[in-house]
Each structure stands twice: as structure tokens, then as C-alpha cells.
Amino acid sequence: MRQHVVRVAVTAVLVALVLLAIPLAVAIRSSLYADQRDSLARAALAGAARVNPDYASGDPVELPAPAAGERLGLYDPALRLRAGSGPRTGDDPVRRSLHAVITRGETGGELVVAVPISHDEHVIGVVRASSEVAAVRSRVLMGWAALLGAAMLALTVAVLVARRQARALAAPLEDLSRHCRAVTEGDLTARARPSTVTEIDQVAHTHNNMLHSLSELLWHERDFTANASHQLRTPLTGLQLTLEAGLEQDDTRLRATLEEAVAATRRLHGTVEEVLRLAGAHGVAHPAAPDRQVGELLRDTEERWHGLFAQDGRRLDCSAADVPDDALVQGGPVAEILGVLLDNARTHGCGTVRVTARDLDDALALDVTDEGTPSAEPARIFMRGHKGGGTGTGIGLALARDLAVSLGGRLFLASGDPTTFTLLVPVRHDGSSGIRSVNVAPLPGGPATER
């Protein structure tokens, strides 16, 4: 910005100098030439006043002393030089002055003024005053040099003033830019300082207010997440302890129900942990989910969801034929994602639902397929809050995909007929040194939603 301000100021000064200097240079030249011609005219008139009409009969002529650089001479009607200095024979201005007119002209590199001398209505001679054109031209060049020096001085002052003003204007903007970079790097306490420029202060004030509002919103969300963590964990733990205590009672009629309730509370507890881990709750520690074998994970998933699909007269089929037995994934997040996809298929899909695990060497692909088709446009199915004309909150698939991204994986709609969602997750083999991560591109269309 500083360079831009300086360029604008210098350009404006240059335009002003050009518009002023050119007419002024022309005026200097015209004025100096006119002054020299006037000086010659005065000298010639002074000489003509001192010439006696009897000079033709031999009376001596005393012309006034000319100024430095000038010549003054008296010519008779025969164009002969009779007194003073000048060419021996009168030139064209002298010849024209014999017609009783004052003549001004330029000839032979000289400025010439010729004044006629009259007696008894007859021209009896001509006084010629002259000076070198080069002398006048030298004075013109000196005047132009002085003008150029003044212009350069004005330009220098303009550059200095422009640079100072540029610093005054750019400093608060640079400070605002540094403040924005600090905010980008995570410092939400940074605030732009006031300056001497009202408009920039207004921008900084608005920016500070916006940042304050955003900071308050973020802290409220973090506090809500921490509060939800505390308030949900406590009753869930109490409910789980109560159900486990009920299992210790010797009542075979309630044991199956209590075991199912305990399993449901454990799953709910795991869901809360995964949601809080994804949200990154402030001040709440969440360890990484333990690894589980893929086959075991699919068996638990089928056991959990088989009865619900059977109640609807539908079939659930889970298979992992080509997946090695030692393939491990993070059980908690993957189970939550599969739960969201199966609930989505149960609510919005139809027919048999198949969960198929495929080994991709460096990753694991989990396909969830039903016999329906998406009710929403493929381009909008991954928009948070879009329900596609059905029921639901429009959050489930968005949450599932966020969980997949937090694992370093990817969730996307692989096919629309039949509906197939594919989950790609990193896989680790039991005994290996680390997880082979999935190299996937970001999904288009933003967060997901139910069909």
C-alpha cells in the first residue's frame, strides 16, 4: 500500500508540474526576448534623439554608449554606417526603416531594432540597435534550468511527504493484518489497536467486535460440550451400575432384559465419548478408541441390528470374507459410523441391507448397501440439515462423516442405485509397527445428511 500511495502522489505532482512548467517555460522565453527587444528599442530611440540633422554635412555625431552585449550605429539614407558599430552596409531592418517606420527583426544571428530619424518630413538617417541572439538564448536556458530545479525540488518534497503519509496510512493497516494473522494462528485474544485514521479505526473496531462475538460463541460451545460431558457421564454411570447390580440378583426372568439394557447403556456411553472426542471438548481428556478386529466388529454390529431389521421384516447380512483376521480398526468410531449408516438404511431404505468389508491392502472399505434409492439429489445428500423430504434431523450422516475424517478416513455415497455408502478407514495389522493410512481427497459438497 505504501508504494501505491507514493505512486499516486508522485503521479499527481508530475501532472501538476508538467501542466504548470510548460506554459511557464514558454512565458520565460517570450518574456526574455521581449525584454531584449524593448531594451534595443530604448537604446535606438535614445540614439536617434541625439543625432543632429547636420551630421550629413560633417557635423560629428555622439551616440550614447550601448549596454553590454549591444551595438548601436547610425546609417544614412544610402545605407552607409556613419557612426557607432554595426555592419558597414545597412541590412533589411535599416532599409525598411527608411520608410519612416520603426522596424524589429532578427537577421544574421542578431536581434535588430531600427528607428528612423526625420527632418522636414524626410528620413535623413536610421539608428540601428542590435544584440546577439545567442546571449538571449543563454538567458532563456538559464531560466529554464532554474525552473527545472524548482520542479525537481517540488518533486522531492512531494515524494518525502507522500512517503510520510504512506507510512501513516499503511501502519494501522499493517497492524490490522498482523492482528488477523495472529487470529488465524489461534490467538483469539489479539485485538487491533486504534490509529489516527478514522476509517481504518472503524474497520478495526468492527473487526474487534466480530472477533469478540466469535470468541464468546466458541467459549459457550466449549463450555456446553464440557457440561454435557459431565452431566451425561454421571447419570449414565449410575444407570449402568444399577443395571449391573440388578444382574447380580437371581431372577432369570429379568436377566436377559437387564443384560440388553446394560449393553445399550455401554453403547450410549461410547456414543457420548465419541461425540465429545469429535467435538474436542475444552478441558475434557478423551483417549483414542481401542483397536478391534474387523470380524468381531461386524459380528457385534449384526447382533445389535439384526433384531431391529427383523421386526421390520427385513434382512441384515454382514460379511468380511477377504479381510485378514489380524486386521484392526478403531472400534468405537467405526461402530458409531456403521450404526448411523444402518439406522439411515432402516429408516430411509428398503429390502435387504448388506454390510461388506473389503481389504484394500493399505485400507479397509466397508460398504453398506440396501435396495432403495436416495430421495435427495446426490449433489445435496452431503449437506448438513438437508433431510431429503423425509424424517430425521439431518445430522446423522454428517456426524458419521466427521467421525470418518477424524480417523483419517472417508465416507461417501458410492452408488445411488442401489444405495451404497462406502467407508474407507486406516487399517493396522496385529503385530505391525503402525497404521497404514488412507490417502483420500476431501469430499465435495460439505458435510453429509440423511437421505
Task: Quote the pLDDT of residue 367.
Answer: 92
Task: Quote the pLDDT of residue 386.
Answer: 58
Task: Quote the pLDDT of residue 193.
Answer: 75
Task: Quote the pLDDT of residue 138.
Answer: 94
Residues in the chain where the model's pLDDT stays below 50: 281-286, 432-450
Task: Quote the pLDDT of residue 36.
Answer: 93
Task: Quote the pLDDT of residue 9.
Answer: 83
Strand 122-132, strand 364-369: pairing = unpaired
Task: Quote the pLDDT of residue 37.
Answer: 93
Over the stretch 63-85, which tens digit does the pLDDT of each residue have? 898 889 899 999 999 999 988 99
Task: Quote the pLDDT of residue 312.
Answer: 86
Task: Quote the pLDDT of residue 437.
Answer: 39
Q: Does the model's pTM come out above 0.85?
A: no
